[in-house]
Amino acid sequence: MRFTQKKRRQPPAVIIIALIDVLIVILIFLMVTTTFKNQIPALKLALPESSQSKPGDSQEDMVVLTLASQPPYFYLGNEAVTTNAFRSRLQQAVEKNPEVRLSIRGDKTTPWGLIVNIMDMAKEAKVKSVTAVTQAPAANQN
């Protein structure tokens, strides 16, 4: 004898519209947060001014070193490097391509001793050309 009736359970209903709304919000959040990436997000430079500044050359056979005014001083791309790591990477670049050039992007307040050390490392590695990245004086800019 059964005193209770067996109830038929309905399968749980999944509300797809609510899931789609949540996924769209997550997608929008990810799209917005990934567009704020900069090449060098924490490094701001005040380039020295030069009346002899020219537009930049191609980056194909060039190693660009950024010198900051605060430690860590040396940056290759987005990555902070030590002097020894920079020296070894510069030598590797010269071994791959003997015509490689070094371009130094330095802040106005970068210690002069660091620039001299970089130029010495470039001579030791037999780099053909060392240039400095500058900007045109404020009066000459359009």
Rounded percentage of the chain residues whose pLDDT exceeds 70: 77
How large is the average pLDDT for residues 29-56?
A: 65
Is 30 contained in some domain?
no
Is 134 contained in some domain?
yes
Model pLDDT, residue 53: 59
Is 70 contained in some domain?
yes
Which residue range forms the structural domain that includes residue 82?
Answer: 62-140
Q: Is the pLDDT of residue 1 over 70?
A: no
Model pLDDT, residue 40: 47
Model pLDDT, residue 92: 92
119-to-3, 17, 65, 90, 95 alpha-carbon distances in Å:
95, 63, 11, 11, 18
- The CATH number given to whatever domain includes residue 111 is 3.30.420.270
Number of domains in the chain: 1
Q: Is the pLDDT of residue 103 over 60?
A: yes
